[in-house]
A and B are shown apart, each in its own frame.
Chain A
């Protein structure tokens, strides 16, 4: 059998029968709905990603401050509590002095 001839015949058969170009009903509407759904999904993903990044950086800052407070307890703790007390009682002290 002549394989080259068979190949030629079959290729000619494929050429003689091009596929149809019909499009399913409302296909473009389906594509547009998919695109809209995807855009909504993208927004949600952006928010989630942003919040995760914020959470990670907040945790890192909290850990750094915690470590700083832990390793410098004597100076910072006293200063902070004294300053806080002075500020809170400043009004009382002032009124006591005037009297």
Chain B
């Protein structure tokens, strides 16, 4: 008979580490999908997912069972991704010359006729990834959670551990930071 999540967690806490495996199997797709929002290389994504599960095992006695295990795990995942972003801050300058030809074409199409540039194009996806990579860790986290994943401010506060006013301030700054990066793109080309 299949054991429930609560039974599996209780068994792990009682010392049966093998009961942790079904939890890893069940929730790894969600952990990987979240990690892929913040890291590009598969090796980095695997490292994040591994770190999440090691932390989850270590901190499992802190899980009180008031909220579903998945919520608790997602909080841990988002915080691990944020730590990853802070530890891997790359060169954040984005010049027009860095863009590939399809990205340039898409941007030119957008400048000439905004409605003609489709958001479903692969170039748009790559361009937004590039722009997100140039954001500061907190700005990237906020833009991803708030604008792309459509979480509420309250949800983000719970996921990140930040207060609601801090989330609002950081969201405001993140949007401004993103606009600044985007405004710089065509200026590099046309001035």
A residues apposed to B, CB below 8 Å? 1-7, 9-24, 27-32, 34-36, 38-39
Whether A13 and B119, one on each chain, are in contact in the complex, defined by CB atoms closer than 8 angstroms, is: yes
- CB contacts (< 8 Å) of B25 on chain A: these are 28
Residue B168 at the A interface, CB < 8 A? no
Task: Tell me how many residues of B have a C-beta within 8 Å of chain A.
Answer: 44
Knowing A28-B24, A30-B50, the reply to whether A17 touches B182 (Cβ < 8 A) is no
Contact B119 A38 (CB under 8 A): no
Distance, CA A10 to CA B175, complexed state (A): 12
Q: What is the interface of chain B, defined by CB distance below 8 A to chain A?
A: 17-18, 20-21, 24-25, 28-30, 32-33, 36-37, 42, 46, 49-50, 53-54, 57, 110-111, 114, 117, 119-121, 124-125, 127-129, 131-132, 143, 147-148, 150, 175, 178-179, 182-183, 186
Sample (8) of A-B pairs whose CB atoms are under 8 Å apart: A6-B110, A6-B114, A7-B179, A13-B124, A14-B125, A16-B125, A32-B17, A38-B54
Tell whether, in the assembled complex, residue B54 and residue A27 are in contact, meaning their CB atoms are under 8 Å apart.
no
Q: Which residue of chain A has the shortest Cβ distance to B180 in the bound complex? A: A3
What CA separation (Å) do A23 and B120 show in the bound complex? 25
- Chain B residues in 8 Å Cβ range of A13: 119-121, 124-125, 127-128
Q: Do the beta carbons of A5 and B114 come within 8 Å of each other?
A: yes
A92 CB to nearest B CB, Å: 60
From the candidates A7, A19, A30, name the one contacting B178 in the complex (CB within 8 A): A7
Chain A residues, Cβ within 8 Å of B28? 23, 27-28
Q: How far is the CB of B56 from chain A (nearest CB, A)?
A: 9
A2 to B111 Cα, complex, angstroms: 8
Pairs of residues from A and B, 10 with the lowest C-beta to C-beta distance, nearest first: A19-B36, A13-B124, A21-B29, A21-B33, A12-B119, A10-B128, A13-B119, A28-B24, A23-B28, A17-B125
Contact between B127 and A10 (Cβ–Cβ < 8 Å)? yes
- Cross-chain contact A32 with B125 (CB below 8 angstroms): no
**A9–B183 touching, CB < 8 Å:** no
- Alpha-carbon gap, A34 to B30, bound state (A): 20
Given A17-B125, A19-B37, A35-B20 contact (CB < 8 Å): yes
